[in-house]
Chain A
Amino acid sequence: MEFTEEQIQRYSRHIILPEVGGKGQKKLLNAKVFIVGAGGLGCPVGYYLAAAGVGTIGVVDNDDVELSNLQRQIAHNIHSLGKPKVESVKKTFESLNPDVNVVAIKQKITKDNILDMLKDYDIVVDGSDNFPTRYLVNDACVMLKKPLVSGAILRFEGQVTTILPHEGHCYRCLFEEPPPPGLVPSCQEAGVLGVLPGVIGALQATEVLKLILSKGKVLKNELLIYNALSVTFRKIKVPKNPECPVCGENPTITELIDYDTGYCTIDR
């Protein structure tokens, strides 16, 4: 594949980086990344991946755009109110960069459809807002052996980790089971500073780009925690658990699980 003159201009700041170059840019254009959630995290992740020229971006989300989303979900706007979030981000990302094909899936992600959704992608990004999805995505990525860049946000704090199944830790090595519904913050408690998902989403997008380019190190066996109030980044070691129920030596979870009831989703 030869670059067009337009592509040479668009990606010039990548091409001049020794770590990217024309070769790296072609890897980005050929890459396929799947994003779970077109909300606070999915918007900035997809926005930056689209800008970087990641050629195929799949996005799944079952919600429509609401006014309360616009405080932080930067790929939506007043014209997309009431419309499916995935349609809104498809329009935004493709108008930022026509090299990008956005595959928009308006569905609830479940144990019955997730494997099929992820199978054609190289890397998965979790930008979901609830524990059932977080565990479902983790387990599916472990089973499919696909790299997963996971992010989470609440109030003024966010976290990022990169899961390379069987090579490093997975989400269940960190927390074996989802917390009981009563321990998860209720909707009234679940505020978030609008810029926070931007910080965390940009970190997730950075992890994805490094994975595609095979450059630098990623947050394997590590959890990065950012606190916006104290302006601190902390890295916590997360060793791979040999007894992990899904990625350990003798896994007890060999089928996907929908933990559905009792959770109040944080994103309403």
Chain B
Amino acid sequence: MEDITPDKKINIKGLVCPYTFVKAKLAMEEMDVGKVLEIILDYEEAARSIPKSMEEHGHKVLKVEKINDTDWVLQIRKEKD
């Protein structure tokens, strides 16, 4: 799978649900359709729930990856306003 350069990155390490999703959603709202958001987080539950919720909101999950002992990286493409 080719590497995608995100258009915007947020680091939400230290946050727990629901603020993980709240922050991700607010960042997403400010982006144009077609742009990619990258999220770094360390709350495991959110690594599952954010992709699920983003899909429910109609966006495309491009990447969910554990990058070290504590952190995950997610990439999500905005599909609609």
Chain A residues in the interface with B (C-beta under 8 A): 3, 8-9, 12-13, 15-16, 18, 21-23
| 12 residue pairs from A and B, CB less than 8 Å apart | A3-B26, A8-B22, A8-B23, A8-B26, A9-B19, A12-B22, A16-B25, A16-B53, A18-B56, A18-B57, A21-B29, A22-B25
5 cross-chain pairs, A with B, having the tightest CB-CB distances, nearest first: A22-B26, A12-B22, A22-B29, A15-B22, A12-B18
Encoded as 1 (CB less than 8 Å from any A CB) or 0, chain B from 33 to 66 comes to 0000000000000000000010011000000000
Q: Which residues of A contact B72 (CB under 8 A)?
A: none
Residue of B nearest to A14 (CB): B22
Can you name 17 extra interface pairs (CB under 8 A) apart from A15-B26, A16-B25, A22-B25? A3-B26, A8-B23, A8-B26, A9-B19, A12-B18, A12-B19, A12-B22, A15-B22, A15-B25, A16-B21, A16-B22, A18-B57, A21-B25, A21-B29, A22-B26, A22-B30, A23-B29
Distance between Cα atoms of A23 and B57 in the complex (Å):
15
Q: How far is the CA of A97 from the CA of B22 in the complex (A)?
A: 20
Note all chain B residues with C-beta closer than 8 A to A13: 18
Residues of B within 8 A of A23 (CB): 29
Question: How many Å from the CB of B56 to the closest CB on chain A?
Answer: 8
The smallest beta-carbon distance between A14 and chain B, in angstroms, is 10
| Complex contact A16–B29 (CB within 8 A) | no
Note all chain A residues with C-beta closer than 8 A to B57: 18
Residues of A within 8 A of B29 (CB): 21-23
Residues of chain B with a CB closer than 8 A to A15's CB: 22, 25-26
Contacts of B21 in A (CB 8 A): 16
> Contact: A16 with B23, CB < 8 Å?
no
Chain B residues near A9: list those with CB within 8 A. 19
For A12, what are the chain B residues with a Cβ–Cβ distance below 8 Å?
A: 18-19, 22
For A13, A15, A18, which residue has the most chain B Cβ atoms within 10 angstroms? A15
Q: Which one of A16, A21, A22 has the greatest number of beta carbons of chain B within 10 Å?
A: A16
| Complex partner residue of B19 from A8, A18, A22, CB under 8 angstroms | A8
Q: Which residues of B contact A22 (CB under 8 A)?
A: 25-26, 29-30
- Cβ–Cβ < 8 Å partners of B18 in chain A: 12-13, 16
Query: Smallest CB-CB separation from B57: which chain A residue?
Result: A18
Rounded to whole angstroms, the CA-CA distance of A96 and B56 in the bound complex is: 32
Task: Give the shortest distance, in Å, between B35 (CB) and chain A (any CB).
Answer: 16
Nearest CB on B from A65, distance (A): 38
Q: How far is B19's CA from A215's CA once the two chains are assembled, in angstroms?
A: 24
A163 to chain B, nearest CB (A): 31
Instruction: Report how far A163 CA is from B71 CA in the complex, Å.
Output: 52
How long is the Cα–Cα vector from A8 to B18 in the complex, in angstroms? 10
Interface centre among B19, B53, B56 (most CB of A within 10 A): B19
